[in-house]
Amino acid sequence: MKIKEVHFKLHTRIALLVCGVVALVLIVTNIFISKKITDMTREHLEEKAFDIAHIVSQSPTIIDGLNNPQHESKIQYLANKMKDSTNVQFIVVTDMKGIRKSHPDKIELGKKAIGGDFGKAFQGNEYVSKAQGTLGKSLRIFVPIRDNNSRQIGVVVVGITMDKVQQSVIQSRHTIYFGIVFGFLTGVAGAVLLANNIKKTMFGMEPSDIAKLLRERSAMLKSVREGILAVDKHGIITLVNDEAARIFDKADIRNVVGKKVDDCVDNTRLIQVLKSGKSELDREQELKGITLITNRIPIFVNNKIDGAIATFRDKTEVKILAEQLTGVKSYASSLRAQTHEFMNKLHVILGMLSMKSYDELSEYIQTIANKYQKEIGFVIRHFKDPVLSGFILGKMSYAREKNVSLVLSEDSYVPEPSNKEITHELITVVGNLIDNAIDAVSISEDKIIYVSLVPDDNRLHITVSDTGNGFDDKNKNEIFKKGFSTKEGSRGFGLYLVKRSIEKLVGRIDVYSKINEGTTFDVEINYERKGDLI
C-alpha cells in the first residue's frame, strides 16, 4: 500500500521548525545547566559542612573535653545541639584512636568509628569523602582538632546523607524546569507569530505559488516589446528586462543592475518620481542619441513609496509603426470615401440608363473620368512620397463627404524626403490643420479650404486657409496649448500636436484670423529631400 505523502503549508513548517529548534536548545541547555546546578549545590553543601566542622574543631568545649576525660560528656551535648541547629545528618567527634566522643545514637558512643576513610584525618588533613557509615551512605567532611599548642588531639566528622544532597539538587532544578516550560511556551508563541508574519509578507502565497509567479513574470518580461527598468526606494536598479538591455546596449550601457540609476542612465527622472510619488506618462527621454518614449510610475506598498518602474520604447520604432498605421488609415479612408462617392455616381448612371438618356450618360461618364484622372494624376505627380499621396487623397475624399471643397494650389509639390520620419511629422501638421479647417467651415455658407505645399531649398512652406468664422486675437496665443478648444468635447490636442511637430522639424507657424473672414495658418519647416525640383 502506498503511503500518502503529507505536505504542510509554509507557515506550519516554519512554526514546527522553530518549535523544534527551541525545544532542542532548551534540552541541551537543561543538560548543561543541570550539571552545573548539581555541582554548585554539592559545593555549597560541602562549604556549609566545612564551616560547621571548623566551628566544632575550634570550640573550647570540644578541645577541653578531649583533653580532660572528666568533661568529655560536654562533647556529646554540644555536637548534637549543633547538629540540630545546622540541619546536618551527624557531627561525630573522635579522639586520635578513632573512638567516638559524640554520635547521634548514644549506643555508638565509645566505639571505634567505621567507614575506612579516617586515615588522612589522623594525619592532619581536611577533605571530603563518600562512605557507608552506621547512618547510611553520606557525604563526610573531615577536619582535625588541635589544642592551643597546635597539637592534633582528635577529628571532627560532619555528615550529610546523599539523599539530602540529591533532594537539594532536585529543589534547585525546579527553577530550571519552570524556565524551560516558560521558554518553550514563549518559543511556540514566537514561532506562530513569526510564521503568520512571514505568511502576511508573502501575501499568503506558498513557495510553489511564488515559483510559478516568478516563472510567469520572467516569461512576461522576456515577451514584452517595451523596455522595463525597476528601481528600489533608494534608486538602486533591481530589474532590467531583455528589451531594456538591448536598448541600453545600443547606448553603450551595460551591467546596470545593482547600481544607482542616475549613475548609469541619463535623464531617467526616476529619482524625482520617487520623491514626488507622481507618475510621468508619455515623456520623451534622450539617451546618448536615442530618443525614447517613457512612462515612469511609482510603486506603493502599504501607502509608502517602495520603488519606481519605467517602461520605454525607441521613438524611431514607434514612428515607423505610426507611419505605417497613418498610411494604411489614409489609404483606407481614401478608399472608403471614394467607394461612397462612386456608389452615388453609379446610382446616377443607373438612373440615366433607366431613362435611356445615353448621350447625357456618355458626357457624364467622360466628365467623371477626366476629373478622376486629373485629381489622382495631380497628386501622384506632385507628392512623391506614397504615404503622403495616400494621405492627401484621403483628405480630399473626406472633404467631399463633408461637402467641403479642398483646393490644392497648382504649384504644390513635395519631393521624397531624405528621412522617412519627416513624413510622419508632416502628416501630423497638414492633417490636423485640414481637420481644423473642415470643422471651421462646417457652419459657413462657403465651405472652401485652400492648401499649398511649396518647397524652397531645404525648407517647405505650408499654407492652409479656410472660409470659416475665424476667431479674435485673445485666443490666438491659447490655441496651441494642450487641451484648449473653442468647441465642446474631447478636443484641444490637434494644434498642440502641430506645434510640437513643427518644433521637431525646426520650423515656425504664424496664424492670421479675423471674425467672419476665415483663418490662415502659415507654416515653414526644414525639409531635406532626395531629388531636385521638376
One domain for residues 158 and 232: no
Which grid coordinates are listed for 203? 501575501
Among residues 129, 144, 168, which one ends one of the domains?
A: 168
DSSP annotation of 5 reads P
One domain for residues 133 and 224: no
Share of the chain above pLDDT 70, in %: 79
Residue 349, in any domain of the structure: no
Q: Which of these ranges, 319-333, 336-350, 351-365, 376-390, has the smallest mean pLDDT?
A: 319-333
Does 14 score more than 80 pLDDT?
no
Residue with cell 520617487: 274
Task: Provide the total of helices (H) and of strands (E) in the chain, helices listed first.
Answer: 13, 14
Residues of the chain by 3-state class (helix, strand, coil), percent to 5: 50, 25, 25
One domain for residues 305 and 421: no
One domain for residues 520 and 459: yes
Which pLDDT band, with edges at 50, 70 and 90, does 532 fall under?
very low
How far apart CA 520 and CA 515 sit, in angstroms, is 12
Among residues 136, 168, 200, which one ends one of the domains?
A: 168
One domain for residues 274 and 416: no
The pLDDT tens digits for 179-207 are 677 777 777 777 777 777 776 766 666 66
Lay out the sheet containing 136-146: strands in order across: 90-95, 152-161, 136-146, 127-133
Residue 202, in any domain of the structure: no
Residue 464, beta-bridge partner list: 451, 521
Among residues 168, 185, 207, which one ends one of the domains?
A: 168
One domain for residues 272 and 418: no
Lay out the sheet containing 237-240: strands in order across: 237-240, 227-232, 304-314, 290-301, 280-287
How far apart CA 256 and CA 240 sit, in angstroms, is 8
Which pLDDT band, with edges at 50, 70 and 90, does 453 fall under?
very high
DSSP annotation of 178 reads H
How far apart CA 287 and CA 312 sit, in angstroms, is 11
Helix, strand or coil, per DSSP, at residue 197: helix
Asked if residues 259 and 236 have their Cβ atoms less than 8 Å apart, the reply is: yes
pLDDT value of residue 217: 67
One domain for residues 458 and 521: yes
- Torsion sign across C-alpha atoms 34, 35, 36, 39: positive
One domain for residues 267 and 402: no
One domain for residues 310 and 366: no
Does 171 score more than 70 pLDDT?
no
One domain for residues 379 and 241: no
pLDDT value of residue 454: 93
**Which residue pairs from 201-209 have beta carbons closer than 8 angstroms and sit at least 24 positions apart in sequence?**
202/10, 206/9, 206/10, 207/10
Share of the chain above pLDDT 90, in %: 8
Tell me the average pLDDT of the chain.
79
CA distances from 304 to 180, 230, 291 (A): 42, 16, 32
One domain for residues 384 and 511: yes
How far apart CA 220 and CA 423 sit, in angstroms, is 34
pLDDT value of residue 327: 47
Name every residue whose Cβ is closer than 8 Å to that of residue 11 and which is 6 or more positions away in sequence.
195, 196, 198, 199
Residue 494, in any domain of the structure: yes
Residue 531, in any domain of the structure: no
Bigger pLDDT: 461 or 11?
A: 461
* CATH code for the domain in which residue 484 is found: 3.30.565.10
* CATH code for the domain in which residue 151 is found: 3.30.450.20
Q: How many CB atoms lie within 10 A of CB 102?
A: 28
The pLDDT tens digits for 476-509 are 777 877 666 666 544 556 787 888 888 888 899 9
Is 0.85 surpassed by the pTM of this model?
A: no
For the chain, how long is the longest CA-to-CA vector?
176
Which pLDDT band, with edges at 50, 70 and 90, does 71 fall under?
confident
| DSSP conformation letters of 358-407 | HHHHHHHHHHHHHHHHHHHHHHHHHB-SHHHHHHHHHHHHHHHHTT-EEE
**Domain limits at 130?**
13-168
Asked if residues 272 and 236 have their Cβ atoms less than 8 Å apart, the reply is: no
One domain for residues 381 and 512: yes
Does 104 score more than 90 pLDDT?
no
Quote the number of domains for the chain.
3
**Which residue pairs from 61-69 have beta carbons closer than 8 angstroms and sit at least 24 positions apart in sequence?**
62/93, 62/145, 62/154, 62/156, 63/145, 63/146, 63/147, 63/148, 63/153, 65/93, 65/101, 66/93, 66/95, 66/101, 66/145, 66/147, 66/153, 66/154, 67/147, 67/153
Residue 337, in any domain of the structure: no
Residue 323, in any domain of the structure: no
pLDDT value of residue 487: 60
pLDDT value of residue 349: 78
pLDDT value of residue 490: 41
Closest among 259, 483, 317, 414 to 268, alpha carbons compared: 259
pLDDT value of residue 1: 44
Residue 98, in any domain of the structure: yes
Which pLDDT band, with edges at 50, 70 and 90, does 463 fall under?
very high
The pLDDT tens digits for 105-154 are 888 888 888 777 788 888 888 888 877 766 667 788 899 988 888 888 89
Pairing of strands 405-408, 304-314: unpaired
Asked if residues 50 and 144 have their Cβ atoms less than 8 Å apart, the reply is: no
pLDDT value of residue 165: 59
pLDDT value of residue 172: 62
Which pLDDT band, with edges at 50, 70 and 90, does 452 fall under?
very high
The predicted model gives 46-69 an average pLDDT of: 86
Residue 351, in any domain of the structure: no
pLDDT value of residue 144: 92
How far apart CA 256 and CA 265 sit, in angstroms, is 9
The pLDDT tens digits for 231-276 are 998 889 888 888 888 888 888 888 888 888 888 888 888 888 888 8
